[in-house]
Structure 1
Amino acid sequence: MSAQSAPPPHGAERFLAIRRPFEVGYWLLSCALSAIGNTATARIDVDRAGLDFAAWEIASWETSSAIAVLLLVPPLIAFTARWPVHLDNIARRLPLYLAASLVWSLAHVGLMVGMRKLVYAWHGEIYVFGDAFGYEYMKDARTFLGLVLLLHVYRALVRRLQGEASLLSAPDDDSPPVEPVERPSRFVVRKLGREFLVAADDIEWVQAAGNYADLHVRGKVYPLRITLTELESRLDPARFLRVHRSHLVNLHRIASIEPLDSGDGRLHLHDGAVVPCSRRYREGLLAAMVG
């Protein structure tokens, strides 16, 4: 009798499987379309105004701006992941994001002006930016806000597709906790309107992700809104150990330790995952595994 085949993945799982290529493709395509579309509209505006600008000049303006935005996307992703905005911290985060918008604009202007100067020099011309930073900042601030909103909404949708974890001992109402919050043995995962339990012992490793800790369980990732340090203090220290500033690992899931020349190491888990191990944690890890 043949083994029963696994059920086909549903739409959410198929998307999560191609999530990274999709994200890279989105940013490349959106910036390319922005450069093409803005170049076309700028050319129309220049012709209507009767201004004397060559086609390569107009293309360099818009293309340099789009490339600068593309280069600034990775640090913006890291910034919004490290300091995300929630309803309970908007007031505290506002000054930080205002300052970040200024840094974003300075970096964007610096990158695009540098690229324009190179293009103009290639054509034997000189590009002069002038004192237009105030005007550029007004545009950049809107772009910055739009990208911040896009990233937060997208992450919320991804968490919904992945399934977001929470402590079983933290119910939504005022009922008593199911188990002690100091040492939870299970987590509840809410995914697409359904709930299921995940045993703490089934967690293979945990990675810090801003204000979240991503629980890796059987190839799935469930974000839990808690700092890695706080989660470490609540998990069983006989099973879970900090091996990196942003990683916890389940000792029972380690298949082998690969030492590196730098003194750091790599932990190869039974599921094939590879987790970094800093040199400062190696002795403690070895002692825990021997014990």
Structure 2
Amino acid sequence: MNHKDTLTYERYLPWKRWVEAGFWVAVTAANCVANSLTTLMELRRGDSGIQAWEPVVWETSSALVWLLVLIPAIVAYTRWRPLHWENWRTRLGEYAVASLVVCLVHVVGMVALRVLAYRMQGMAYDFGPWPRELAYEYLKDARSFATIVVVVEGYRFLLRRWQGEASLLAEPDEGLPLEPVDQPERFLVRKLGREFLVAANDIEWLQAAGNYVNLRVRGHDYPLRSTIAGIEARLDPRRFTRIHRSYIVSLDQVASIEPLDTGDARVHMKDGSALPCSRRHRQDLRQRTGADAC
């Protein structure tokens, strides 16, 4: 693993949310200003009676709904139901329905804001014939929805390549595998075009993240395409145990167990992390670690 790349990624992490939010604010604001000016110039050429503030209200109302409601919802939806090359056929219909919902929310939200803005000016806002205008808006919104999905998934793909994406070692084309495939001793990590191996025994803990499971190794996370149950079945049960529906820990890396009033517990790891332990796994963890505190 290139140490310089690792340091660059770690320096980026504190700024990650700010960069992501700033990107969408900048794109939405630029699009809003550009569309307002373009619409105003077209109206002026046609000698329209539309006042200068009206195109600004139209575009700002649309931008606010996208920025405050739809973009966060699309980001959350794609994290929950990610779209990848191998599943796009099965997800296409689902995403088509999602684009219709996006359009309806967008139109209802921006019309409500425009009605409010016009009333403040002592005027009435007319959206026009709803069936025709909805069809027109859907053609634009479907394109915007698709663009946002592509940008989000592309960004996530780059992040995974930057931080390193893990995979199970494949069986060889010929001969026997060098290690058991059902309980691999090593994971293959691809990072910016390079590959290196991570020993299963070096994994400190694992966390479910959508269609991925993050492997925590020496302070770094490596996403592995799997479910938490799927990877649990591949790990050595003598070394790893489930403590939560979203977490698996290495027993050797558990520093202490803190009981909570709710009946759950907090597991303190040797790397300083504090992980949740649900009450259904608490007793098993106590027995596996020999801890009396849990």
What TM-score range do you get, normalising by the shorter chain? 0.7 to 0.9
Describe how 1:143-182 pairs up with structure 2 within 5 A: 143-168=144-169, 170=170, 173=173, 176-182=176-182
1:30 matches 2:27: yes
1:216 matches 2:216: yes
1:110 to 89, 108, 111: 108
Question: Identity of aligned pairs, percent?
Answer: 49
In structure 2, the residue matched to 1:126 is 124
Cα 1:209/1:9, change in 2 over 3 Å: closer
- The one-letter code of the counterpart of 1:156 is F
In structure 2, the residue matched to 1:273 is 273
CA distance, structure 2, for counterparts of residue 173 and residue 14 of structure 1:
40
1:189 matches 2:189: yes
- CA displacement at 1:136 relative to structure 2: 0.7
Compare 253-262 and 91-100 and name the one that shifted more.
253-262
Conserved in 1, the CA contact under 8 Å of 2:6 and 2:163? no
- CA displacement at 1:72 relative to structure 2: 1.6
Compare 152-161 and 13-22 and name the one that shifted more.
13-22
CA distance, structure 1, for counterparts of residue 264 and residue 124 of structure 2:
50
SS at match of 1:224: strand
Q: What TM-score, normalized to structure 1?
A: 0.87
Cα 1:127/1:182, change in 2 over 3 Å: same
In structure 2, the residue matched to 1:63 is 60
In structure 1, the residue matched to 2:36 is 39
In structure 1, the residue matched to 2:47 is 50
Number of aligned positions between the proteins: 285
Question: CA deviation digits over 1:165-205, x for unaligned, max 9?
Answer: 1112x158556433112111211111112211111122222
CA distance, structure 2, for counterparts of residue 285 and residue 32 of structure 1:
51
Gaps of 5+ in 1: 1-5
Cα 1:96/1:159, change in 2 over 3 Å: same
- CA displacement at 1:69 relative to structure 2: 1.3
CA distance, structure 1, for counterparts of residue 32 and residue 222 of structure 2:
37
CA distance, structure 1, for counterparts of residue 14 and residue 174 of structure 2:
38
Compare 228-237 and 245-254 and name the one that shifted more.
245-254
Describe how 1:68-79 pairs up with structure 2 within 5 A: 68-70=65-67, 71-79=69-77
CA distance, structure 2, for counterparts of residue 17 and residue 90 of structure 1:
32
CA distance, structure 2, for counterparts of residue 250 and residue 9 of structure 1:
23
SS at match of 1:18: helix
- The one-letter code of the counterpart of 2:221 is V
Q: What TM-score, normalized to structure 2?
A: 0.86
- CA displacement at 1:38 relative to structure 2: 1.7
- CA displacement at 1:264 relative to structure 2: 4.1
SS at match of 1:283: helix
CA distance, structure 2, for counterparts of residue 63 and residue 159 of structure 1:
34
- CA displacement at 1:235 relative to structure 2: 1.0
Gaps of 5+ in 2: none
- The one-letter code of the counterpart of 2:96 is L
Question: CA deviation digits over 1:252-290, x for unaligned, max 9?
Answer: 323344445544444332223232333443333333332
CA distance, structure 2, for counterparts of residue 43 and residue 181 of structure 1:
64
Compare 33-42 and 257-266 and name the one that shifted more.
257-266
CA distance, structure 1, for counterparts of residue 173 and residue 42 of structure 2:
58
Cα 1:16/1:173, change in 2 over 3 Å: farther
